[in-house]
Amino acid sequence: MKINVAILGSTGYTGAELIRLIDNHPHFNITHLGAHSQAGKQVADVIPSISGHISSMTLAAADSPLADDIQLVFTALPHTAAAESVKKALNSGKKVVDLSADFRHQTHITYQQAYGVAHPYPNLLNDAVYGLSEWAREKIRSAKLVANPGCYPTSTLLPLIPLLQAGVLDDKSIIVDSKSGASGAGRSAKTNLLYCEINEGVSAYGLPRHRHAWEMEEWAKELGLKEVQVRFVPHILPMSRGMLTTLHLSGRDTASWHSLLSETYANEPFVRILPEGSLPSTKFVAGSNRCDIGICRLNEHDAVIVSCIDNLIKGASGQAIQNANLMLGFDESMGLPQHAQWP
Amino acid sequence: MKINVAILGSTGYTGAELIRLIDNHPHFNITHLGAHSQAGKQVADVIPSISGHISSMTLAAADSPLADDIQLVFTALPHTAAAESVKKALNSGKKVVDLSADFRHQTHITYQQAYGVAHPYPNLLNDAVYGLSEWAREKIRSAKLVANPGCYPTSTLLPLIPLLQAGVLDDKSIIVDSKSGASGAGRSAKTNLLYCEINEGVSAYGLPRHRHAWEMEEWAKELGLKEVQVRFVPHILPMSRGMLTTLHLSGRDTASWHSLLSETYANEPFVRILPEGSLPSTKFVAGSNRCDIGICRLNEHDAVIVSCIDNLIKGASGQAIQNANLMLGFDESMGLPQHAQWP
Amino acid sequence: MKINVAILGSTGYTGAELIRLIDNHPHFNITHLGAHSQAGKQVADVIPSISGHISSMTLAAADSPLADDIQLVFTALPHTAAAESVKKALNSGKKVVDLSADFRHQTHITYQQAYGVAHPYPNLLNDAVYGLSEWAREKIRSAKLVANPGCYPTSTLLPLIPLLQAGVLDDKSIIVDSKSGASGAGRSAKTNLLYCEINEGVSAYGLPRHRHAWEMEEWAKELGLKEVQVRFVPHILPMSRGMLTTLHLSGRDTASWHSLLSETYANEPFVRILPEGSLPSTKFVAGSNRCDIGICRLNEHDAVIVSCIDNLIKGASGQAIQNANLMLGFDESMGLPQHAQWP
Amino acid sequence: MKINVAILGSTGYTGAELIRLIDNHPHFNITHLGAHSQAGKQVADVIPSISGHISSMTLAAADSPLADDIQLVFTALPHTAAAESVKKALNSGKKVVDLSADFRHQTHITYQQAYGVAHPYPNLLNDAVYGLSEWAREKIRSAKLVANPGCYPTSTLLPLIPLLQAGVLDDKSIIVDSKSGASGAGRSAKTNLLYCEINEGVSAYGLPRHRHAWEMEEWAKELGLKEVQVRFVPHILPMSRGMLTTLHLSGRDTASWHSLLSETYANEPFVRILPEGSLPSTKFVAGSNRCDIGICRLNEHDAVIVSCIDNLIKGASGQAIQNANLMLGFDESMGLPQHAQWP
């Protein structure tokens, strides 16, 4: 029997990716698609990439109630709007994977620092589990609410946590230089996101401190067991999907880092440590739920680590499904692509 | 139980796509991957997009024999080289889907006109079934050898055949203006295929008569039951995947064309006729096995039809699997993506 | 001494290109830059590609009066808004090159058919000269108002006019299949023009009859001396600049077409006829004011002609300057790039 | 009177850019174009972006002698091959701007470390002036041989030198994270440079130590007067042109850095310091000879500096012409574009 599922905020890029992946999932059945301004239209009118049965489903208004038989809700809404929907869904006994930033923080204080607004439901923060799947499996299995990590933190924390836990990193030298495809900026009509403004150019943004820096530091401390400061610089690139994070790191015993990461992730279906000296490309993960990681030692003290994800899959909708699989007791990799779509 | 499968020519773009899709197919099991110059390497060394178990399989030399328990062979080799491998595989009792041009023609004469070389095994031409899945299902089911159609002919014949059969087209006015992503040109190291040569530019090529023009005319006659001449102009575009074909057509009773196509393809899982006046984009089929078709009537006599496919899926590896499903008695859409990966 | 120049509508893509090119022109001096919503800002705030002295000029409000010493005005405004500014500038004795569609038509009737609105100043239509520079030089030299041609008509008429004049074309078989970079769609914030919507995809648009079809037919008749019907299908491509038009033509004596075009354009600085059988790429004209044309004969009756321009230069701002040079008595190619920026 | 000029290695991307820019230069006259494998062809056969008179010039063989009246030679050849041509040209009394790496190093030892081969003419190294135009004007004016800097060092040293000279940087914390368009990898036919391999992906390369790291350190010491170690990680991006370098820096008194850079470069035509907090994009320098620099202070000790150039212009052919202008006594900015071609 299939689990009935709702997706709220289904017509942005992560919403569309949720529809595509969940419609192919053997145990999930989409019965509700919420949309803000597009309510009343059919799926295929707004997302023509979706075909078959699901494509003629009518998009529900944002405030349209969820049927009782829906057990699982994905919220892909802007922050603060998401919190409202999450609260309602939890109140009616449903499990929730929230793809917004609303429940990613441990306290309402860091949330406010990062997002500049007061948290609407600070009491709910304690109930949320931070869904970096590889590092919170047990908690996720029993969670009612999973806060799906941001794309930049996912690509940063996966390589970082084992090194932090091993205590081989200098606390203050964590430099995170990330490069993201344009889909990370969302689907709203802004001049600076027009094709001709993004195409054939690269720029940094979000300085001096991007919102995701708080999330990185908070979970580096919690999961890596070490207080750190990150210097994080994101860039936007002329490509639709993909995120590459270059970590410029210092510490001790860099010769051991490759085996440290290799052993940590040896049995993970979605984390691949490349042979020492090999470097990943976003092109080889785009379309998959994988994170590929390359380690290059510069000398005894310095190393460069490069990690790649598809920002819409492992960085958003794919990890959300990975978490939902855990919450519902399914095989963690169910319905998730392991191979990239290449070229 | 799974069917053991070989892929010959597995490290080009269509080969890589075959590996990705077949490794996800519930009833196929890849046990042999042939490669020319890359033999001895592991899959992930040459195609890092492939992960998991299959990625550590060793690539076999081109002349490496196929195990007896292999029942199905996909050949994704250059023309004439393919014919050799096809013949060997057939001789040892295996079923074959050939993605090359070697068995797409009805006679060795058109083959020689189109490809400029004598056919190595003209006697085998009669045994091959032209695998335009939607129009040759019954023959494909019982075929030992299926010749997988070219990408341009697939995108052209699907919209054209119903109109030809209905007798509503002027014979001499079939103008086919196609636009293809660069992956159609293959993975060989040529200066004119370098990133900087293709990027930010568009050009026509293959004039005065591209090889696929013969294939289009031959099968338009056989499947559309009407002798026609196509004027075919292909273009290469700055994108990796996707093919759009614009048909500039004249005939009679254009008002009926939309319903004619809609009815013909009403129950097809991989052909979608858009609402009248709507036009497709390759972006909405890339990553899927679909062909999206839009019809726009200009007046009583003239109409424009636009069809879109992913050149590597419905135009190559996806249709090959669709044909293999038919040959082996599986559900035709098994293992094939219906939604596009968007954006 | 330099001529003082104003640009109205200076912050769109064609406006930016006018600033870049005119600021490099030896005889023009920009003294007024009008902008709609951006008035009060400096040039470099809105168009950071512009540097040096001009970059700190303040953008004037749309209704800000033009100084008396301005002799020449370029209007790069939306249609109907342009007409207002043109009228005002003419009334105060200035010469005008209008890049909008407002004065491209011979009668207010075709204008209304094409643009769906009544022409605000139909009496002015007779005063305008259609600025297809190569075909209206003498009239342009003495014009007060030049209507700069649309990009699609420019790429279509340049190859077509000599054939029409020679009477070698079938009237009814003029099929124009154009492919344009995304900058042609302008700089307004629309969801369908976002990077992720345009990137890696191609689609047709503007059917059944794009506005430029009227312009093509009107000037084909006037300049080519022959009434024709075009079947015009434009496509938008994932690239910023460049326009390729594929003409599928029938007629008589196709063997003579190459020399006919070669002789016509032998001494033109901005039209290049490629050797017979060679085909142009937009990549080789982008950044230049050139139109490259390739002719490929299919048989006695049919031929394909492909023309390429940079839609923002020969298709807009470059041709505008070419016309301004003529109007002011300068060398026609002054300040205009002949080489493309490649790669 | 014009200076006769030769370009050796004229058919790669930097060679093509030299032809384009020099053909527009008011005081230079190209009379010799050397090419390796393409000798005997006309310019337009190999670089169709070039039009007009120069396009029909015949490419000379690599060993074809230079006429006596040639005063200036640009060598855009692979390293070691360049040294041969440079020596010959110097011997016959010509001035040379060498765009290869052959004369960029102060000693043959660092050359060998960086390039892995012995320097063919170590005695010539002392005669060469390192042509970072803004920092070596006086020496360049009297030089016979100018070694044109690498693209990565140019984008790194321009922002770095003033800070090094001011003594505000920590020596060991210079992290250089660069992002380059694909044209930097050259025009040779390699599988990894094919359109489909580069498009829609980003990757790091050249680790653990890219050749340009030696060049950066050597000239940081010489021009910045301070011994430093750089940790340099270059990335290749899906765009043709443009280079962005992100400097992650620590030191003291970061609040003063913006004014320090602003004052240093206040009168430079080709270096633009953006307002504090503003960040540059490669899109706004591509097509120009500019370097745009943005400074963002993180705290008292840490700052991020981002610099952008067009790798083929300020990073290669444009700076070469800037240097040639100095060597020949012309205005330094003659023939060089200040505005970017946008979009």
Indicate the burial class of B252 (C-beta count within 10 angstroms; 0-12, 13-18, 19 or more): middle
In the numeric block, the tokens 């981002």 are attached to: D306
Residues B313, B289: Cα–Cα separation, whole Å: 5
The answer to whether C153 and C114 are in contact (CB under 8 A) is: no
Q: pLDDT digit of tens for each residue in chain B (343 aa)?
A: 899 999 999 999 999 999 999 999 999 999 999 998 899 999 999 999 999 999 999 999 988 999 999 999 999 999 999 999 999 999 999 999 999 999 999 999 999 999 999 999 999 999 999 999 999 999 999 999 999 999 999 999 999 999 999 999 997 779 999 999 999 999 999 999 999 999 999 999 999 999 999 999 999 999 999 999 999 999 999 999 999 999 999 999 999 999 999 999 999 999 999 999 899 999 999 999 999 999 999 999 999 999 999 999 999 999 999 999 999 999 999 999 999 999 9
Q: What is the DSSP letter of C317?
A: I
Residues of B in CB contact (< 8 Å) with D are 13, 182-183, 187-191, 193-200, 238-240
Please pick, among D151, D291, D296, D308, the residue that the annotation labels catalytic.
D151
ipTM of the complex: 0.97
DSSP-derived secondary structure for C169-238? B-TT-EEEEEEE-GGGG-S---GGGBHHHHTT--EE-S-S--HHHHHHHHHHHHHH-S---EEEEEEE-S
Whether C341 has a pLDDT exceeding 80, the answer reads yes
How much is the pLDDT for B37?
Answer: 87
Q: Write out pLDDT tens, residues D225-256.
A: 999 999 999 999 999 999 999 999 999 999 99
**Beta partners for B174?**
B230
Please enumerate residues of B whose Cβ is less than 8 A from a Cβ of C. 175, 177, 179, 181, 196-197, 199-205, 207-209, 231, 233, 235, 237-242, 244, 246, 248, 277, 279-284, 286, 294, 296-298, 302, 304, 306, 308, 343
d(CA A177, CA A172): 15
When pLDDT is averaged across residues A150-161 and rounded to a whole number, the result is 98
What domains are defined for chain D?
3-149+314-328 (3.40.50.720), 152-311 (3.30.360.10)
The string of pLDDT tens digits covering residues C2-42 is: 999 999 999 999 999 999 999 999 999 999 999 988 999 99
Helix axes B211-224, B151-166, angle to 10 degrees: 30
A251-261 pLDDT per residue, tens = 999 999 999 99
- Residues D291, A76: Cα–Cα separation, whole Å: 40
The minimum CA-CA distance between C230 and chain B, rounded to whole Å, is: 11
Contact B200 D238 (CB under 8 A): no
Q: Show which subunits contact A, needing at least 3 CB pairs below 8 angstroms.
A: B, C, D
Percent of chain D with pLDDT over 90: 97
D204 CB neighbours in chain A (<8 A) are: 244, 246, 279, 294, 304, 306
pLDDT tens column, C147-205: 999 999 999 999 999 999 999 999 777 999 999 999 999 999 999 999 999 999 999 99
pLDDT given for residue C173 in this prediction: 77
Q: Are strands C28-34 and C70-75 parallel, antiparallel or unpaired?
A: unpaired
A246 to chain D: which residues are within 8 Å by CB? 177, 204, 233, 235
Structure tokens at C309: 């321009």
Contact residues for B225 (Cβ-Cβ < 8 A; gap 6+): B164, B165
Give A51 to chain C, closest Cα distance, Å. 17
At residue D63, the pLDDT reads 85
Q: Collect all residues of chain D within an 8 Å Cβ-Cβ radius of residue B191.
A: 187-189
